[in-house]
């Protein structure tokens, strides 16, 4: 079963994903891998990543981590297995890495769509369960720059496509989970 966990910053979405991993790991013969997409572009982000790694290791010691900031579809294809839960944390940073990178060129519209299609294909073909974490950033004010608005729009469209491929979508608010129905109102 695949699940998309959405929420604002510090909403509890990563902890919810870690709880899914801990529950999965409670059954013998299973393993779990977190695919982390963050890049440490500055000292504060490096410290944030280190803090997340330490906290995660304390909460779910058996959850292994793979750093993969860009090639998410390939990582999903390579590591998906029936007895392995994959946690992807997070789609927001992955999208930013590709559409508003700190260094190097950004993907154009055609390359972005091909990358999203590849991710969806890998998700649909995944032999085991996948939990995807992402920030719901479309609830606030529209950003001032065209580049940031483009990322917000692209992320919203990505969320809709990922949600369509998931059996469960959970919205985290203040550490509380709201399971979203599959049907549209």
User: What pLDDT sits at residue 122?
Assistant: 98
Could you say which of 2, 52, 79, 150 is catalytic?
52
pLDDT for residue 83: 97
Checking if the pLDDT of 46 tops 70, the result is yes
Label residue 184 by pLDDT band (50, 70, 90). low
| Least confident span in 21-30, 41-50, 104-113, 125-134 | 41-50
Q: How confident is the model over 138-173, as pLDDT tens digits?
A: 887 788 888 889 999 999 999 999 999 999 999 999
Closest CA to 33 of 95, 76, 96: 76
Residue 103: is its pLDDT beyond 90?
no
The token duo for 168 is: 């469960």
**What is the model's pLDDT at position 14?**
95
Q: Does the active-site annotation cover 52?
A: yes
The predicted pLDDT at position 185 comes to 58
pLDDT, tens digit (0-9, with 9 covering 90-100), for 115-124:
999 999 999 9
The pLDDT of residue 183: 73
pTM: 0.94
Distance of CA 91 to the CA centre of its chain: 4
CATH class label, 2-180 = alpha beta
Average pLDDT of the segment spanning 44-61: 92
Q: Where are the domains of the chain?
A: 2-180
Pairing of strands 176-180, 168-173: antiparallel
Please state which of the ranges 38-42, 86-90, 94-98, 164-168 shows the lowest mean pLDDT: 38-42
63-80: pLDDT as tens digits: 999 999 999 999 999 999
What's the chain's average pLDDT?
Answer: 94
pLDDT of residue 37 exceeding 70: yes
SS (H, E, C) 50-106: HHHHHHHHHHCCCCEEEECCCCHHHHHHHHCECCEEEEEECHHHHHHHHHCCCCCCC
């Amino acid at each position: 079963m695949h699940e998309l966990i959405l929420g604002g910053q510090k909403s509890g979405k990563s902890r919810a994903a870690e709880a899914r991993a801990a529950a999965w790991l409670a059954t013998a013969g299973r393993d779990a891998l977190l695919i982390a997409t963050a890049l440490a572009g500055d000292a504060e982000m490096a410290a944030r990543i280190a803090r997340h790694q330490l906290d995660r290791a304390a909460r779910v010691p058996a959850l292994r981590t793979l750093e993969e900031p860009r090639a998410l579809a390939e990582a999903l294809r390579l590591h998906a297995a029936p007895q392995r839960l994959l946690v992807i944390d997070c789609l927001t940073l992955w999208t930013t890495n590709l559409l508003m990178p700190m260094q190097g060129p950004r993907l154009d519209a055609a390359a972005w769509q091909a990358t999203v299609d590849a991710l969806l294909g890998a998700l649909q073909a995944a032999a085991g369960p996948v939990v995807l974490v992402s920030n719901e950033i479309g609830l606030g004010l529209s950003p001032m720059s065209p580049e940031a608005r483009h990322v917000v729009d692209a992320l919203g469209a990505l969320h809709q496509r990922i949600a369509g491929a998931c059996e469960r979508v959970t919205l985290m608010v203040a550490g509380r989970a709201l399971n979203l129905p599959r049907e549209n109102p």
